[in-house]
Structure 1
Amino acid sequence: MGPTGDAALDVDRIHMSYGDVKAVAGVSFSVRQGEFFGILGPNGAGKTTTLEIAEGLREPDAGSVRLLGESPWPRNVGLLPKIGVQLQASAFFEKLTAREQLETFGALYGVPEDRAMAMLDLVGLRDKAETRENQLSGGQRQRLSIACALVHDPDIVFLDEPTAGLDPQSRRNLWDVLREIKARGKTIVYTTHYLDEAEVLCDRVAIMDHGRVLALDTPAALVRDLDSATHVVLERDGFPAAEARALAGVDDVAEDETSLTIATRSPAPVLAALAERGALSGLQVRTATLEDVFLELTGREYRA
């Protein structure tokens, strides 16, 4: 995808190698103003390097980047107040409380001290304002890190795997923070290897592997274009496999010790037939997900 004039971020055919390893190999995409854009991929896919080039932290070997209409490299000091960056490894000032961390980061941009409490409210940490960062939980530290990236009210925010290593509850709490950031009109560019998360949060996603973009679209469009079968799962003893195979619209039937799974691209008549036979007890319907899209593109299991 080539450059577009009104985009918050344009990445055009960038390349980056580390010795013989080609980390990024011709990546292009554009991010619209106010969009939540995800870069998905397993470790080693090239997503962090791509993000660092977009932020202006690295110079690409080839290609170009336009960030808010300007080049971020060489280091563009004029862009710094307009962008927020949260890296994989959060770095805080030692022995400072959560409030003091934000006040210190804010002072670098001339932000008033009272902005700190507003940011703690945003990320749900007001009650931890006087707690040192090394006494916060992993999820709380991640939320504080995001608050530090936002304290100067940037136009675009870069987040590199912000939910990595968090427990499910902390991940969901952080989802609410990310939704609130987007609701405030901010552009968000983030990387993750959590496909379920990207499917819920992102307006569009780019799936990367081996330094290349394999697919780019909305999550719903990527799933729809996959044309994958719907899987109807029944209790093992609830319906005979032979009868299931005889139903109109059934592509395949698989069995294990506890369940019977019907694969179909015509779920409506299959479900209607099962209802007529009173076989809906314990029934589950599983449609395709972004994980199915990834597996189809790469032909192997997703690497974490």
Structure 2
Amino acid sequence: MLEVSGLIKKYGKQNAVNNISFSLQGGEVVGLLGPNGAGKSTTMKCIVGLLRKTAGEIQIAGHDHLSVAAKKYFSYIPETPHVYDLLTVKEHMQFIAQAYGIKDWKDKATELMEIYDLTDKADKLGRDLSKGMRQKVSICCALLPDPQVLFFDEPMIGLDPKAIKNTKKIFKELKDQGKTILVSTHLIDSVETIADRIMIMKDGNIIGNDTISNLKTAFSSAGDSSLEDLFLELTKDE
């Protein structure tokens, strides 16, 4: 569903992303981990077209990632949720439905708003929402079109415990439906229980890309070490 080949993103002479290649299959949840400045958000923004890549090829469901055909396949939830100040929560859902040409959207919108405790906020303007509420609206808008591929950049930050639990449950349901999910996060424990595979970035490079158990076998002398221990070991400064 996603093919990234030779992706490079430069700022001036500095490589933020350094010639990385990877692929994601249908029905796969992949956690993208790395310290601050590792290139996670830059990679994700290049994939969804918010940043112009310096070099490389990116395809989503066989289409160039910047094409309209590719954009129909995916949703993106940014680290900082952006909502429209003068649209209500309900109008955000209507806007997304109209943008994606979804006809029977109201029942699903109602269901998503119930899951994220937004029903009583349905008529609230975007400018009056807290950061956590904006994050919930952002997730609901991303899920409404039923995309095949989802890109989550730090989805759990700002969410309350109930919303985090529900988001993990939704991840599992999406995976069971054959959807592809890439989750970038600092919260290692939030991804350890849901990810089929982990990609670890450092200094713009992918330094680990495998199942958690295989990474532990390859890089850890102690077989019972946690993913957090493994992450800290792989990303420590030499």
The bucket for the TM-score relative to the shorter chain is: 0.7 to 0.9
Listed as ranges, the matches of 1:1-304 within 5 Å are 8-72=1-65, 75-112=66-103, 113-114=105-106, 115-166=108-159, 168=161, 170-229=163-222, 287-300=224-237
Which residue number in structure 2 is paired with residue 240 of structure 1? none
Q: Shift of residue 156 of structure 1?
A: 0.7
Look up the SS of the partner of 2:43 in the other structure.
helix
Q: 1:139–1:170: 8 Å Cα contact kept in structure 2?
A: no
Give, as a single letter, the amino acid of the residue that structure 2 aligns with 1:217: D
- d(CA) in 1 for partners of 2:172 and 2:117? 13
* TM-score (normalised: structure 2): 0.88
Map Cα deviations across residues 126-182 of structure 1 (whole Å, 9 max, x no partner): 444334444545433322211111222211111111112445555334323333333
**Closer, same or farther in 2 for the Cα pair 1:174/1:77, shift >3 Å?**
same
- d(CA) in 1 for partners of 2:23 and 2:75? 18
Give, as a single letter, the amino acid of the residue that structure 2 aligns with 1:94: D
Between Structure 1 and Structure 2, how many residues are aligned?
A: 236
* TM-score (normalised: structure 1): 0.70
- Unmatched 5+ residue regions in structure 1? 1-7, 231-286
Map Cα deviations across residues 234-271 of structure 1 (whole Å, 9 max, x no partner): xxxxxxxxxxxxxxxxxxxxxxxxxxxxxxxxxxxxxx
Q: Shift of residue 117 of structure 1?
A: 1.6
Look up the SS of the partner of 1:89 in the other structure.
coil
- d(CA) in 1 for partners of 2:79 and 2:170? 17
**Closer, same or farther in 2 for the Cα pair 1:123/1:155, shift >3 Å?**
farther
Look up the SS of the partner of 1:201 in the other structure.
coil
Q: Which runs of 4+ in 1 moved over 6 A?
A: none
**Closer, same or farther in 2 for the Cα pair 1:135/1:94, shift >3 Å?**
closer
Tell which has more relative contact order, 1 or 2 (C-alpha 8 A, sep 6+). Answer: 2
- d(CA) in 1 for partners of 2:3 and 2:200? 17
Q: 1:35–1:182: 8 Å Cα contact kept in structure 2?
A: yes
Larger Rg, first or second structure (1 or 2):
1
Look up the SS of the partner of 2:139 in the other structure.
helix
Q: Shift of residue 121 of structure 1?
A: 4.0
Map Cα deviations across residues 188-246 of structure 1 (whole Å, 9 max, x no partner): 1121111111211111110001000000111122123334337xxxxxxxxxxxxxxxx
Q: Shift of residue 79 of structure 1?
A: 1.9
